Amino acid sequence: MKKKPFLLAAEGINKSFDGFKAINDLNFYLTEGELRTVIGPNGAGKTTFLDIITGRTRPDSGNLEWDTDHDLLKLNEYEIYRMGIGRKFQTPTVFSDHTVIENLLLSMAGPRSIWHSLFGRVTAAQKERLAEILETIKLNTQAYRKAGELAHGQKQWLEIGMLLAQEARLLLVDEPAAGMTDEETYRTGELLLSLAGKHTIMVIEHDMEFVRQISQGRTVTVLHQGHVLAEGPVEKVQSDERVIEVYLGRKSKAA
């Protein structure tokens, strides 16, 4: 099969946990600059798929190519991160004992050596970038507060800010709207939309309102039992009978 220049290409991926097939012959492609939303019922393998991309879990079989000539399956977590793949976890995972600015500083793109961590200085450009990110994620008044003291929504935003500081090429965003108010959810959607194009973004989400807001005619992928069930614009996917059967039909929010 001839391959198009995809940023991320997953082919024939399988993964079982104790006989349960979490990922079943999964084929998934992302092009540079795309904003892709992935939906699917609980247990569809969404988070497992992210675990595989980020090196947390190794698949039983399959290929995972990054930028056409890197095999992600041969790299570990921090090597994959250094390829430019950043992840926002489902539950906000920030360093709660560190301040907001320290969280961003730790994520800042740059050398990751021990030497640099001891003697490297924060450059003026980096300081400017930090201020910019704080502005973007609307936490500039909270910069010196401990991340653990932030509200749930603010933690989610901080984690997105950490991905921005990393200058990730691919942002993997796992349920960003979980536990947010409608207002916060909407603003998160706006934030992700403003980042689309500059970064490649893959969002995993349950909230169909949110999915409609951010997809805007872009491709939505429906996962079911670890396999791609349907792909297309949100309207088309929503009217797909198989999708309705396994997922949307059971969700009142999707109606």
Partner 1 sequence: MNKAPAASKIRTPLLIAMAVFLVIVMPVLNVAGVIEDFTLNVWGKYLCYAIMAVSIDLLWGYTGLLCLGQALFFTLGGYMMGMHLMLMIGKLGSYNSDLPDFLVFLGHTKLPAIWQPFYSFPFAMLMVFLVPGILALIFGFLAFRSRIKGVYFSILTQALTYAAALLFFRNELLMGGNNGFTDFRTLLGANLREAPTQRILYIVSAILLVAVVAGCKWLTSTRFGLIQRAIRDSENRVLFSGYATANFKLFIFVLCAMIAAAAGALYVPQVGIINPGEMTTERSLEAVVWVALGGRGTLVGPVLGAVSVNALKSWATRAYPDMWLLILGGSFVLVVMFMPKGIIGIPAQVRALIAKMKNRGANSRQPVTTKQDAEVTEP
Q: Which is nearer to partner 1, 16 or 76 (CB)?
A: 76
Looking at residues 153 to 212 of the shown chain, list those that interact with partner 1 (rule: CB under 8 A): 162, 166
Q: Counting contacts by CB under 8 A, is residue 77 touching partner 1? A: yes
Q: Counting contacts by CB under 8 A, is residue 127 touching partner 1? A: no
- Structure tokens given for 185: 């959810």
Q: Which is nearer to partner 1, 137 or 230 (CB)?
A: 137
* Nearest distance from C-beta of residue 115 to partner 1, angstroms: 9
Q: Which is nearer to partner 1, 6 or 95 (CB)?
A: 95
Query: Among residues 3, 74, 112, 198, which is the contact residue for partner 1, using CB under 8 A?
Result: 112
Q: Which is nearer to partner 1, 146 or 187 (CB)?
A: 146
Query: Among residues 37, 47, 48, 107, which is the contact residue for partner 1, using CB under 8 A?
Result: 107
Burial 41-74 (b: 16+ CB within 10 A, else e): beebbbbbbbbbbbbebebeebebbbbeeeebbe
Query: Among residues 93, 123, 216, 239, which is the contact residue for partner 1, using CB under 8 A?
Result: 93
Spatial separation of the C-alpha atoms in residues 255 and 249, rounded to whole Å:
8
Residue span binding partner 1 (CB under 8 A) among the ranges 26-34, 38-46, 61-69, 81-89 = 81-89
Q: Counting contacts by CB under 8 A, is residue 6 touching partner 1? A: no
Residue span binding partner 1 (CB under 8 A) among the ranges 111-119, 129-137, 224-232, 247-255 = 111-119
Binding-site size, partner 1 (CB under 8 A): 30
Spatial separation of the C-alpha atoms in residues 170 and 10, rounded to whole Å:
14
Instruction: Find, among 181, 102, 106, 176, the residue nearest to 144 by Cα.
Output: 102
Q: Counting contacts by CB under 8 A, is residue 27 touching partner 1? A: no
Q: In whole angstroms, how far apart are CA 71 and each of 14, 55, 87, 170?
A: 16, 11, 18, 15
Q: Counting contacts by CB under 8 A, is residue 81 touching partner 1? A: yes
* Nearest distance from C-beta of residue 88 to partner 1, angstroms: 10
Spatial separation of the C-alpha atoms in residues 255 and 173, rounded to whole Å:
24
* Nearest distance from C-beta of residue 225 to partner 1, angstroms: 27
The neighbour count for residue 137, using CB atoms within 10 Å, is 24
* Nearest distance from C-beta of residue 26 to partner 1, angstroms: 22
Q: Counting contacts by CB under 8 A, is residue 78 touching partner 1? A: yes
Spatial separation of the C-alpha atoms in residues 225 and 216, rounded to whole Å:
26
Burial (CB < 10 A; 0-12, 13-18, 19+), residue 5, is exposed
- Interface residues with partner 1 (CB under 8 A)? 54, 56, 76-78, 81-82, 86-87, 89, 93-98, 102, 105-107, 112, 114, 116-120, 146, 162, 166
